[in-house]
């Protein structure tokens, strides 16, 4: 057995099998049987000795070489972790070859186990919570809000129909909702419910008169300075 067969990974099967494409069939034939992989063994059984350089065998090897994918990223990553571990530990104590080899074997075993049992090794991805839009600050009232609260009555609202009805209000009806909106705004600023409803009913309780709405709307707001002090 050639010492280079042990020290040089790319000189071993299945890579060494493609040396036949360069006319080096003798090197392929000299590969010890203990180092041959299933592909190399099958090719050498089918094309022994000089038959490995025949047109049929070369066509098969060329086809395999064109489709063969060699991913060395995992190999380079493993070597990089070993170099990083050695350089890091050399700042304090120099790691021995045994410790580096043991760490490498454990990491390879861990990756093999995770690949074999992906459901147990990989944590379940947690779904990201939905991002809700920032809610704007609610206002207390206004004639439109008073109108929609009065007309909803616990049923599904039709914005188009409500808009048409709202635009068709008479001056007297609009004044009623305008005053109700002022009262609702004042109630909201005082921390009260803008639009109260009768118990067990869907009807909106509107101010009995314009004077009542004006009195509530003109009431001092929290924090207002008065002659007797702040409210």
Asked whether residue 20 is domain-assigned, the answer is yes
Query: Is residue 124 in a domain?
Result: no
Last residue of a domain, one of 67, 89, 107: 67
Please indicate, yes or no, whether residues 18 and 47 belong to a single structural domain of this protein: yes
Does residue 222 share a domain with residue 160?
yes
Calculate the alpha carbon distances from 157 to 142, 143, 146 in Å: 18, 17, 14
* SS3 state of residue 157: coil
What is the SS3 assignment for 91?
coil
- 226 DSSP β-pair partners: 229
Per the structure block, which two tokens stand in for 120?
A: 């147990």
Domain containing residue 97: 73-116
The reply to whether 128 falls in a domain is no
User: Nearest 5°: phi and psi at 226?
Assistant: -120, 180
Domain identity same for 107 and 169: no
Residues 210 and 163 in one domain: yes
- For residue 18, is it within any domain? yes
Per-residue pLDDT, 129: 61
- Residues 43, 25, single domain; the answer is yes
Q: What are the E-state strand segments in the chain?
A: 225-226, 229-230
State which of 44, 67, 90 marks the end of a domain: 67
Please report whether residue 130 resides in a domain.
no
pLDDT in tens, the chain (231 residues): 444 444 455 677 777 888 888 888 888 888 888 888 898 899 888 888 888 888 888 888 888 888 777 666 777 777 777 777 777 666 666 777 787 788 778 877 776 666 555 555 455 666 666 655 555 555 566 788 877 777 766 667 677 877 888 888 888 888 888 888 888 787 777 766 666 655 444 444 554 444 555 555 555 555 555 555 555
Q: Spell out the residues 6+ positions from residue 224 whose beta carbon is closer than 8 angstroms to its own.
A: 230, 231
Q: Report residue 130 as tokens.
A: 């939905």
Is residue 83 located within the same domain as residue 59? no
- pLDDT reported for residue 209: 45
- Specify the number of domains making up the chain: 3
Asked if 55 and 85 sit in the same domain, the reply is: no
Is the pTM higher than 0.85? The answer reads: no
At 229, which helix (H) or strand (E)? strand 229-230
* Whether residues 148 and 215 fall in one domain: yes
Q: CA-CA distance, 216 to 111, in Å (whole number)?
A: 73
Chosen domain end from 67, 83, 98: 67
Alpha-carbon distances of 29 from 2, 11, 33, 52, 126, rounded to whole Å: 13, 13, 9, 9, 54
In a domain, 63, yes or no: yes
Do the domain assignments include residue 131? no
Q: Evaluate whether residue 179 is within a structural domain.
A: yes
Residues 6+ apart with CB under 8 A from 59: none
Domain match, 45 and 78 both: no
Residues 23 and 58 in one domain: yes
- For residues 177 and 197, membership in a common domain is answered with yes
Domain match, 153 and 194 both: yes
| CA pair distance 101, 8, nearest whole angstrom | 18
């Amino acid at each position: 057995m050639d010492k280079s067969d042990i020290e040089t990974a790319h000189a071993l099967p299945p890579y060494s099998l493609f040396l036949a494409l360069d006319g080096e069939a003798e090197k392929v034939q000299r590969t010890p049987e203990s180092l041959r992989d299933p592909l190399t063994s099958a090719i050498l059984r089918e094309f022994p000795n000089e038959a490995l350089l025949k047109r049929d065998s070369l066509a098969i090897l060329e086809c395999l070489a064109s489709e063969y994918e060699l991913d060395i990223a995992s190999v380079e990553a493993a070597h990089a972790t070993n170099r990083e571990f050695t350089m890091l530990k050399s700042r304090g104590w120099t790691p021995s070859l045994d410790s580096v080899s043991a760490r490498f074997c454990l990491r390879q075993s861990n990756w093999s186990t995770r690949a074999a049992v992906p459901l147990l090794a990989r944590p379940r991805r947690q779904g990201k919570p939905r991002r809700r839009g920032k809610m704007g600050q609610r206002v207390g009232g206004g004639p439109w809000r008073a109108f929609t609260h009065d007309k909803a009555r616990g049923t599904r609202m039709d914005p188009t129909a409500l808009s048409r009805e709202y635009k068709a209000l008479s001056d007297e009806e609009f004044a009623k909702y305008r005053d109700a909106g002022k009262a609702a705004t004042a109630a909201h600023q005082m921390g009260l419910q803008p639009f109260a409803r009768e118990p067990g009913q869907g009807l909106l309780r509107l101010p009995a008169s314009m004077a009542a709405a004006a009195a509530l709307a003109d009431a001092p707001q929290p924090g207002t300075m008065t002659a007797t002090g702040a409210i």
